[in-house]
Amino acid sequence: MAWLRSIKSKLVVFAMMATLIPSLGLGLLSFRQNEAQISDNVTRELRAMTNYASREIKLWIDKRVHEVHVTSTSNVVIDGLSAISRPEESLPGGNPQALAHYLRSVQGKLDTILELTVVDATGKVVASSTQAPARVTLPKDWPQSSLTEGLVIAPPRWNTGYATATLSVAVPVLSYDNLLMGALVAVLDLHGLQPRLKSAIKSPSGEVILLDSDGRALASSQNDTDKLQQLDPSVLRHLLAQPGNSMAFQGLTHRNVIGLAEVSAEPRVTIVAELDRAAVYGKWIELRNMFLGLVGALVLVVAAVAFQMGRSIVVPLQRLIRAADRIAGGDLEVRLSAKRNDELGRLTVVFDQMADRLRQSHAEIMAANEAMQQQNQVLETLSITDSLTGLYNRSKLDAILADELARFKRTQRQFALLMLDIDHFKTLNDTHGHITGDEILRSVARILLQSVRSIDYAARYGGDELIIILVDTSADLAAKTAERIRSQVENAQYGNNGSTIAVTVSIGIAQCQPDDMTPTAVFARADQALYQAKRAGRNRHIAIINPGLSTAPTACPSRLPPAY
């Protein structure tokens, strides 16, 4: 991060770290210890709630079982079963109808019992207080001490018929001579446990919920148990895997709770105690936020002081940096005025002296550079230009032709090469002198430059041989250009001391071919075409498209003698 490189930023960061590290370190350690203490207290409270609920459940069931035991020892129940199992010993009134009436009257007095059912020793229903009695699986062999210990408790479940959670218990019914005749089955309403699951005075503000093995709420310390959702099975597994230890999870009574679970032995039901996490940690969170706010305010004050201290140092330095950046960017007209008498003021004076010397040196360098550029331009022009004709020289021609050939290989955009030769140029030199010959060569070169496009190239190949490269041009179009050049050369006026000199050119045309590997191949075809034009009588052009195949020559009647 670039902003950390400045002195001001480093001062601010150092001040903030010097404030934050000890404050946050001590504060977080203290809050961590407080959080651990709160967690231990919450765990103890939750264990107390589950223990209290477990004891109350046992007492409540014991009381209900006692009521069922009392009912099972009544004469009406014993006589009713005797009428079924021992008809020869039945007493008056010992019939199923009287027994059912008795069961309904007993149930009406016990509000926690939803139904009472008498079954024989085989489990067959003898009489019941309801039309559809609940089924309970009886043990095959009751213990010998059935009179005092015989008891079957079915696991609690949600009873859709009664729209509540129920618990079924069965106690044996013995004859007057202590022989087992059957059992009395009672269906208990677990809703009766609701006021007993939690002490209004001793228990904390949490809730206690009874769950079946699937995690469904059967009863709770709240009144609206039917509104509770099913506990997530994975959460229930984690709770049961660490009994007696609290954990945070998405609970039944609140979205975020802290709770633990225990499983009671009889009946086998899961007891879950929950505390609202927001209520437990509310004060702790409020104190933590207050501490963080205080630390934040302290950091801001320290940062502001450090910022002002850094600014008093950094602002003059930034002024010097901006001036140095302007000089580095080429602006040498930078002048600073020293406004301070300290070290930074002295540095400003030295900076101004350095800038003055740079301006003087820059002026000298620019003058020398301008002269050097002019010389370089002249040298560059001389390196690629023929000094007599002003056309490109041989080395530049080779480079141009190599580039065009490479471009043709990439894009298949063809080009044509024209090789020109002034007819009887040696005779012209011998007759009129080399000065006149050079002037004729310059005149022909000017015609070439005027006859080609700006994208084409004209060069002197050597002696009186001139080359034209026509870009993006076929042999047919090149022939038209060649004819135009031939005609202009022939019709131009060349004089020497008042006399008129006739000048013509022969032109060979070659078009690039896919199998051309080097510029020499194109030169060779153009040279061959030029040779054919000379043999055909000069003052004409001939094009060779493919080796061994040439176009018909185009020429005008030569005014020169046939001799070379």
pLDDT in tens, the chain (564 residues): 555 556 667 666 777 777 777 777 777 777 778 778 888 888 888 888 888 888 888 888 888 888 888 888 888 888 888 877 665 554 554 577 888 888 889 888 888 898 998 888 788 888 888 887 877 777 766 665 555 567 888 888 888 888 888 888 888 888 888 788 888 899 998 888 888 888 777 777 788 888 888 888 888 887 776 677 788 888 888 888 888 888 888 888 888 888 898 988 778 888 898 888 888 877 777 777 887 788 778 778 777 776 676 666 677 777 777 777 877 777 767 777 767 677 767 777 777 778 778 777 877 787 888 888 888 887 777 788 988 999 999 999 999 999 999 999 999 999 999 999 999 999 989 888 899 899 999 999 999 999 999 999 999 998 899 999 999 999 999 999 999 999 999 998 887 666 788 999 999 999 999 998 889 999 999 999 999 999 999 999 999 876 554 554 544 443 333 333
Decide the pairing of beta strands 505-511 and 540-546.
parallel
Length of the chain: 564
**Residue 87 has what pLDDT?**
57
The tokens describing 1, both together, are: 């991060």
Is 15 part of a structural domain of the chain?
Answer: no
Is 293 part of a structural domain of the chain?
Answer: no
Which residue, of 349, 378, 407, is where some domain finishes?
A: 378
Q: How far is CA 59 from the centre of its chain?
A: 60
Is residue 372 located within the same domain as residue 476? no
The tokens describing 91, both together, are: 């007493």
The tokens describing 84, both together, are: 């079924």
Question: Looking up tokens 């041009």, which residue turns up?
Answer: 473
Is residue 491 located within the same domain as residue 532? yes
Beta bridge partners of 392: 385, 459
**Residue 8 has what pLDDT?**
61
Q: Round to whole Å and give the CA distance between 485 and 506.
A: 10
Is residue 417 located within the same domain as residue 524? yes
Is residue 403 located within the same domain as residue 549? yes
Is residue 481 located within the same domain as residue 527? yes
Which residue, of 308, 343, 378, is where some domain finishes?
A: 378
Contact between residue 310 and residue 11 where contact means Cβ atoms under 8 Å apart: yes
Q: Round to whole Å and give the CA distance between 165 and 289.
A: 44
The tokens describing 347, both together, are: 């540095």
Q: Round to whole Å and give the CA distance between 256 and 345.
A: 64
Q: Round to whole Å and give the CA distance between 362 and 21.
A: 53
Is residue 542 located within the same domain as residue 442? yes
Is residue 372 located within the same domain as residue 411? no
Contact between residue 461 and residue 419 where contact means Cβ atoms under 8 Å apart: yes
Rounded to 10 degrees, the C-alpha dihedral 365/366/367/372 comes to: 90
Is 403 part of a structural domain of the chain?
Answer: yes
Angle at Cα 57 formed by Cα 53 and Cα 62, nearest 5°? 150
Contact between residue 16 and residue 297 where contact means Cβ atoms under 8 Å apart: no
Is 401 part of a structural domain of the chain?
Answer: yes
Is 344 part of a structural domain of the chain?
Answer: yes
**Residue 511 has what pLDDT?**
94
Contact between residue 138 and residue 146 where contact means Cβ atoms under 8 Å apart: no
Is residue 463 located within the same domain as residue 547? yes
**Residue 368 has what pLDDT?**
81
Contact between residue 414 and residue 477 where contact means Cβ atoms under 8 Å apart: no
Is residue 421 located within the same domain as residue 449? yes
What is the number of domains present in the chain?
2
Is 52 part of a structural domain of the chain?
Answer: no
pTM over 0.75: no
Is 142 part of a structural domain of the chain?
Answer: no
Find the distance separating the first CA and the last CA of the chain, reported in whole Å.
Answer: 82
Is residue 354 located within the same domain as residue 486? no
Q: Which domain holds residue 338?
A: 332-378
The tokens describing 372, both together, are: 């050097």
Is residue 430 located within the same domain as residue 514? yes
The CATH number that applies at residue 483 is: 3.30.70.270
**DSSP string of 456-510, one letter each residue:** SEEEEEETTEEEEEEET--HHHHHHHHHHHHHHHHHS-EEETTEEE---EEEEEE
Is residue 340 located within the same domain as residue 470? no
Which residue, of 378, 408, 432, is where some domain finishes?
A: 378
**Residue 458 has what pLDDT?**
94
Contact between residue 181 and residue 121 where contact means Cβ atoms under 8 Å apart: yes
Is 412 part of a structural domain of the chain?
Answer: yes
Phi, psi of 453 (to 5 degrees): -80, 175
